[in-house]
Amino acid sequence: MIARKLLNSTLFYIALALAILWTAFPIYWMIATSFKSGDMLFNWPPTYFPYPLTLANYEYIFRLQPITKFLTNSAIVAVASTPISVALAALAAFGFSRFRFRGRNLLMFLFLAVRMLPALIIALPLFMMFRSVGLHDSLLGLIIVYTAFNMPFNIWLLQGFFAEVPSEIQDSALIDGCTYWQLFMQVMIPLITPGLVASAIFCLLLAWNEFSFALTLTYTVKSQTLPIAIAGMTNDRGTLFGSMGAVGTVATLPILAFALYVQKYLVQGLTAGAVKG
């Protein structure tokens, strides 16, 4: 019995260790690569623990590559699209979850369909449209697209939060003479703050990491974001691994720190709606 217990917990910890290795190794390798000097990158066997560490790759990307520009672009796009997207989604989610009306199911399905839409189906038409109104290759264009594309998911997420507010609260507010607008702003919004935080986090993450639209709608440093910067560096394989690692690290660490810090909300948001039957 004791031997069996010991075996079980050994297996458990081996599985846990393997899972950690699987999750962390690619990230570790990217960060380690970013600190390797030129010749260390091409060692055989590969260098698992780079020493001495060098900052040459970071110097290179900050001095010779417009990396600060990419960073700023990513940050502007993420920060600007998030509040608009969350606000509009909250309004719509309130409408969906608290009213019965004609066309509700159809609208719900249409919103869901946007979530299933391949980005590329509208990237080309958008590219043409943006070109004719001067929004091509601009941060504003990206902000508009991210605002719209993050909305359906946010509506779906926030709807779950609205639905959980007990009907008694709503009824008494309405009996007290609240308008629907007051009900929304003064009663509902404070109650669903965790939902708002969760959807804001998603917007930030998705906008920061988005690739397809940024790839098709922007084409100069003026408005390109970090994922595009990395994809653009692949031409000259090998020699660029070090600096690509540095760009990857710069693009990943801030969002990672942020996301881990707000993990609780993230988990709440991702699992909302998927657990209850």
Partner 1 sequence: MASTKTAIRSRRNLEPYLFMAPALIVLLLVVAIPIGYALVQSFYKYRWNIPTIPPRFVGLENYLNIFKDEDLLKSIGWTFSFTAVVVSSELVLGLALALLLNSRRLGRLRAFWRGVFLIPLMISHVISGFMFRMVFDPEYGPVNHLLSLVGINEVRWFTEIFPTRLVVILDDMWIATPFVMLVLLAGMQTIPVELYEAGSIDGASAWALFRHITLPSIRYPIMVVIVIRVMDALRAFDMIFMLSRGGPGISTTTVMLWNYRYAFQFFAMGRACAVSFAFFIVICLITLVSMGILHRETA
Nearest distance in Å: CB 55, partner 1: 19
Cβ contacts of residue 244 below 8 Å, gap of 6+? 230, 233, 234
Residue list 168-207, contact with partner 1 (CB under 8 A): 170, 174, 180, 184, 205
Token code pair at residue 125: 């038409």
CA–CA dist 210, 37 (Å, integer): 30
* 5 binds partner 1 per the rule CB under 8 A: no
Closest CA to 90 of 205, 173, 206, 200: 200
Q: Which of 7, 38, 43, 53 binds partner 1 (CB under 8 A)?
A: 43
**Axis-axis angle for helices 139-163, 193-209 (nearest 10):** 150
156 makes contact with partner 1 (CB under 8 A): no
Q: Which two tokens stand for residue 9?
A: 């917990």
Considering only residues 101 to 140 of the shown chain, the ones binding partner 1 according to CB under 8 A are 101-102, 104, 107, 111-126, 128-129
Query: CB–CB of 138/217 below 8 Å?
Result: no
The two structure tokens encoding residue 221: 């440093």
Instruction: Scan residues 226-265 and list those touching partner 1 (CB under 8 A).
Output: 226-227, 230-231, 234, 238, 241, 244-245, 248, 251-252, 255-256, 259-260, 263
The Cα 117–Cα 137 span in angstroms is 22
Distance of closest approach, residue 138 Cβ to partner 1, in angstroms: 14
88 lines the binding site for partner 1 (CB under 8 A): yes
User: Nearest-5° angle of CA 195, CA 191, CA 77?
Assistant: 35
Asked if 58 touches partner 1 (CB under 8 A), the answer is no
Residue 209 interacting with partner 1 (CB under 8 A): yes
**By C-alpha distance, which of 27, 52, 75 is closest to 249?**
27
Residue 4 sits in the site that holds partner 1 (CB under 8 A): no
Q: Which is nearer to partner 1, 77 or 155 (CB)?
A: 155
Q: Which range of residues in 7-15, 50-58, 59-67, 190-198 is near partner 1 by CB under 8 A?
A: 7-15
CB atoms within 10 A of CB 19: 10
Size of the site for partner 1 (CB under 8 A): 106
What is the closest distance, in whole angstroms, from the C-beta atom of residue 115 to partner 1 in the complex? 8
- Is residue 10 a contact point for partner 1 (CB under 8 A)? no
Of 76, 140, 148, 173, the one binding partner 1 (CB under 8 A) is 148
The type of residue at 11 is: L
